[in-house]
Chains A and B, each alone.
Chain A
Amino acid sequence: MKKFLLYKKLGLVVLSFALAWLQSDVLFAQQIRVVATWPALADLTRQIGKDLVSVDSLATGVEDPHGVPMKPSFVPRLNRADVLVLIGLDDELSWLPGLQEVASNPKILPGQRGYIDCSVGIPVAEAARVLDRAEGDLHPKGNPHYLLDPVYTKIAAQNIAAGLSRSFPQHQATFEKNLKAYITELDSWIARWEKLTAPLKGVKFVEYHQEWVYFANRYGLKRIGAVELKPGIEPTPNHIVNLVQQIKQEKPQVLLYGAQNPRVPQQIASETGIKVLRLYSSSGGRAETDTYIKWIDYTVRTLVQAVGQA
């Protein structure tokens, strides 16, 4: 009987520890758990949530937006999230829905309170007029790389603040105060970038993938072609020959690529002398671009410097 009681007590202790371990985050952490798909969004959320949020980014910033691996290790992070912050416009279509399917977290499913689509209200560029895969791997809702325009990023930040307030209305005043402060800071940077980018006006460029439309519209650059045959389709030898001809005729100053393989850009550079630049389409791609502002500042300065040298 004594033995039985001892086992019973031991069992209860083990059970208590197990429950405490499983629920430790609930017991000891009060922060709102946010999962962002990209580091740039994670940074925006940190600026708005400050100490109230603990933010985790799934992608690191070096990935090709169309090639983020569907890692099962993302599943527990999504399972525990109070809020999911994403680019939207089908940017995460190839990997996020599959993870949500097994994350057992209804809070972060599309349409739910914890689902923050930052693209809401963005004046979308390049919305496909004809939806046909003969035109490549199109984004039916339009180009999702709007974070490259810092003015539109203010809309994304507003969406994050509104989304956080929707789930946690008790902190709404704090989110709004932090948003206002961040937008003031961002505005001062936007004014600075406006001056810095003066030499970029009218500069012709070639891009690997259709990523730069928002940046080009904001700062007056002119895109003359893309390395990809169609969005998401690798170039054929014939396309490269034509592009080389076009570059020789129109003399663009720079070829931009991000997470793509540098082989083809370097080949084109060796044939035409065009300056090739690797610039990622999110923060976090380089150690020195760990915040949104640092990333855009790096992008602007690198481009201005490259155009000055070209």
Chain B
Amino acid sequence: MILSLKVPRQIAVSVLIVTVFLIPGLCLAQTSELEAIRGIVKNLEQQLQKALERIDQLEKEKASTSARVGNVEKSVQAVQSAPSSFNPAIGMVLDASVDHRAKAGGDFNFRAAELGFSASVDPFARVYSFMTGSREGFEVEEAAAITTSLPWNLTAKGGRFFADFGRLPKNHPHEYAFVNTPLSIERMVGGESKADGVEINYLFPIPFFLRATLGGYNKIGEENERLDDTKSRAWSRFTYLGRLQTYFDVTDHQSIELGTSLAYTPSIRVPGDPVGGDRTLGGVDLTYRYQPLDSTTYQGLTIGSELFTNSERVMRSDDVFRRRQAFGGYSYAELKLNKSWSTGFLFDYAPSIESPGKKTLSYSPFLTWNISEFNRLRFQYSYLDDKVREDKAERGNQFFLQWTTVIGAHTHGFRGR
């Protein structure tokens, strides 16, 4: 019995020895294999994850492309079904101010609501127009057709537009760096260079910018009373213009722009002068710009000056003709303080062209807050030293708070830069 018990005991001991010494070895071998398998599985999992992500990405791209193709198809269908899809780009500028003039009083001034349209006519021309409503009424300020594919670097423009005279006279007042049109432009050009006529531009095919303009117009300047543009008349009673404009980059960040203009009218109408003599209106404009390329929306300095000369032949009371000459102009500087704020100063020297000895000098600091690209507030103080004494609104201390807003598509293109 004892023997019979010993045998299983020996077997049990042997099993125990095998268990204690051999199984861990076997286990260790299995563990390392498991580790290897785990590594492979993990690697496969990672690869699968990457493949799934890639599939997701490709599906997204496919969906996005399909959506885009779908949109294009829809827009094609829309164009086919709705002729209004060819409607021009439309925008409006609202320009209003609160004014206080020491000698004339206060004013809520609805300066302008300028409605703009523009579109291509066909492959050869485009049309733009600006119609302005103000307290004086509603008028077509500009409506002109411009060629787009004339050969030899030529461009032709016809209709009503701001003639290419000077730099600021051909801009709309809401584009200025300051509130009001300088008096020198008002008196010498007759306000903005609005004209009915034809213009040809030529871009010289040379490495730097040089552009020439030739034009013929009923007259230049809306408030220019030296010509009556409402009826037919001799061709000598029209205005003819020539302009040359150039530009140089002084450095990457600084530039100079120079222009010279000459508007000649062979025969003008002068009150009290039945014959009328010729008139030559000249202008030179110079603009310096500092625009650091890496910070154009935050920093910048613009200094702009324009000088005008007016020379006209007038009859004296004793039937003797003489030339009457006047010189005027303005200078301004605008400094960009950051993306939203800028400040500057305008000096204006405006003679009376009827009595060139009398003049109005004005000094105007201004501060602009660009709330966004389409929303702007501007404060300006002006002091006018007036010796002309034609209008009491043009003398003494003046304060302006201007609010300009834009909706829709609105651009004045190259001239509005």
Report A's interface with B, CB cutoff 8 A. Answer: 22, 60, 62-64, 66-73, 75-76, 79-80, 97-99, 101-104, 106, 109, 121, 123-125, 133, 137, 217-218, 232-234, 259-261
Contact = CB atoms under 8 A, between A and B. Distances in A.
B32 to A, nearest CB: 28
A76 B340 contact: no
11 contacts: A70-B417, A71-B247, A73-B208, A75-B211, A76-B207, A97-B413, A104-B154, A104-B201, A104-B203, A124-B64, A261-B298
Given A64-B297, A71-B255, A99-B414, A261 B339 contact: yes
B205 interface: yes
Given A60-B252, A99-B414, A234-B339, 8 more contacts: A60-B293, A67-B297, A72-B209, A73-B248, A76-B208, A80-B205, A104-B153, A104-B201
A137 B206 CA distance: 37
Contacts of A72: 209, 247, 257
B294 interface: yes
B19 interface: no
Contacts of A66: 297
B236 interface: no
B43 interface: no
B201 A79 contact: no
Interface residues of B, number: 47
A70 B205 CA distance: 19
B326 to A, nearest CB: 30
A119 to B, nearest CB: 10
B372 A67 contact: no
Most chain-B Cβ atoms within 10 A of its Cβ — which of A73, A76, A106?
A: A76
A75 B65 contact: no
A260 B201 CA distance: 37
B248 A79 contact: no
A70 B247 CA distance: 12
Contacts of B57: 217-218
A110 B402 CA distance: 37
Contact of A234 (B252, B255, B340, B417): B340
A79 B203 contact: yes
Main secondary structure of the interface of B (DSSP, over half): mixed
Nearest to A124: B68
B14 interface: no
B140 to A, nearest CB: 21
Main secondary structure of the interface of A (DSSP, over half): loop
B372 A137 contact: yes
B31 interface: no
A98 B410 CA distance: 12
A133 B406 CA distance: 10
A234 B370 CA distance: 10
B374 interface: yes
A56 to B, nearest CB: 11
B139 interface: no
B294 A62 contact: yes
A104 B155 contact: yes
B30 interface: no
A34 to B, nearest CB: 17
Contacts of A234: 339-340
B413 A101 contact: yes
Contacts of A101: 146, 413-414
Contacts of B407: 133
A232 B372 contact: yes
Given A102-B155, A109-B148, A137-B373, A79 B294 contact: no
A261 B208 contact: no
